[in-house]
Amino acid sequence: MSMTLNSNEIEKLLPHRFPMLLVDRIVDMEPGVWAVGRKCVSANEMFFCGHFPGQHIMPGVLILEALAQVGAAAILSMPEDAGKLVVFGGVKNARFKGQVVPGDVLELSCKLTQRRGAIGFGMAEAKVDGKVVASGELSFAITPAEKP
C-alpha cells in the first residue's frame, strides 16, 4: 500500500515543528518499509542566516536530518508505532556529493532495511534534479513518547 502525506498530516506523525520540520510532503510511502519525501528549499530558511551569508548552502547535517524525518514517517505510519517517538540514532557512510541551495527541491528517500525491537536501520538518499547530493545508512531508536 502506498500513500502520501501533506504537511499537516506529517505534523500528526512527527513532533518536529518550524524551524526543525524539514519535510514538506511525503510523496509516496509504504508504511514500515520505505518513504519518499520532498523539501522545497527556500532562501528564507533560518539556517541560511549563518550558512553561509553571501553563498547559501544547506548544511549537510540538516540534509541527513531531513532524510531521518522521512524514515521516521515510514516507521510512525505503522499502527503499532503510532504515537511513539523516533530518535535519530546515528549515521554510517555519509557522503555529500553536491550542494543544496535556495530554489532546489530535495527528493528524500529512506528504505528501512532492518528492525530489531526498538532499533531500526535504513538506507537514505537525497537528490536534486535526479542527481544524488547526499546518502548514508541511518539508525533510529523508537521509544514511547513522553506525555507533557
Enumerate the active-site residues. Answer: 51
From residue 82, how far is each of 10, 75, 145 by CA, in Å? 12, 8, 10
Burial 84-114 (b: 16+ CB within 10 A, else e): bebebeebeebeeeeebeeebebbbbbbbee
* Residue 137 grid cell: 545508512
Euclidean distance between CA atoms 94 and 141, whole angstroms: 19
Question: Among 133, 128, 123, which Cα is nearest to 93's?
Answer: 123
**Sign of the CA dihedral with 40 first, then 73, 89, and 21 last:** positive
DSSP H helices, the chain, are 7-13, 60-76
